[in-house]
């Protein structure tokens, strides 16, 4: 098994553990009588700590520290409004029970959490690649700057040739150019 595939498998196992723990917390909190926001907030606080410890120690091995934890907490905090909105949608709009709504909302966040976790924990290399650089997308700054330069080099001769053809076909644009029937252009306002 390649190192990259092994990393994806470790991440998937860690995500499955977090998935089950998050849903268990939501369902138990609902049964105890907490509101949806109280249940979501409780789960968020517990899962930030549990997720960081699992991911930083096993799935995305990295040096643990407050900066990494704060970056991870920030990345997951960006997900909180989205996951809570999805949960509200399933509970209030579709009137599904929490046993179905919690996993539905959680599945909606799996891909986003994957990208954000790598960005937060993989350090400087991932930070420069952006949140979804771990998915194999090109690094933004260097890749697109290089592509833009190549595109200009390829397109510049074509643009110059087109401009030269257009200039030869266009009538003169000076203000005293002759118009049909001997009229000249007006200058200034009427």
Token pair of 120, please? 């937060």
pLDDT (tens digit, 9 = 90+) per residue, 86-118?
Answer: 889 888 888 889 899 888 888 877 766 677 767
Partners of 178 in the beta sheet? Answer: 184
* Average pLDDT over all residues of the chain: 75
**pTM assigned to the model:** 0.54
**With DSSP H G I counted as helix, E B as strand and the rest as coil, what are the percentages for the chain, rounded to 5?**
75, 0, 20
* Confidence check: pLDDT of 47 > 90: yes
Give the per-residue pLDDT at 131.
47
- State in Å, rounded, how far the first CA of the chain is from the last one: 80
Per the CB < 8 A criterion, the answer to whether 119 and 135 are in contact is no
Binned at pLDDT 50, 70 and 90, residue 57 comes out as confident
* Confidence check: pLDDT of 178 > 60: no
CA distance 39 to 130: 31
Task: Select, from the ranges 26-30, 54-58, 152-156, the one with the highest average predicted confidence (pLDDT).
Answer: 26-30
């Amino acid at each position: 098994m390649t190192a990259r595939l092994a990393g994806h498998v470790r991440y998937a196992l860690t995500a499955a553990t977090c998935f089950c723990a998050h849903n268990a917390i939501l369902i138990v909190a609902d049964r105890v009588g907490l509101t949806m926001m109280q249940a979501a907030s409780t789960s968020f606080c517990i899962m930030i700590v549990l997720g960081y410890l699992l991911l930083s120690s096993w799935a995305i091995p990295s040096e643990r520290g407050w900066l990494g934890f704060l970056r991870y907490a920030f990345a997951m905090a960006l997900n909180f409004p989205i996951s809570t909105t999805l949960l509200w949608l399933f509970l209030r709009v579709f009137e599904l029970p929490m046993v179905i709504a919690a996993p539905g909302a959680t599945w909606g966040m799996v891909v986003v959490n994957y990208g954000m976790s790598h960005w937060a924990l993989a350090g400087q290399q991932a930070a420069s690649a952006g949140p979804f650089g771990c998915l194999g997308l090109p690094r933004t700054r260097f890749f697109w700057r290089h592509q833009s330069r190549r595109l200009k080099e390829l397109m510049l001769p074509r643009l110059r040739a087109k401009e030269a053809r257009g200039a030869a076909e266009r009538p003169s644009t000076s203000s005293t150019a002759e118009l049909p029937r001997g009229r000249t252009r007006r200058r200034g306002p009427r």
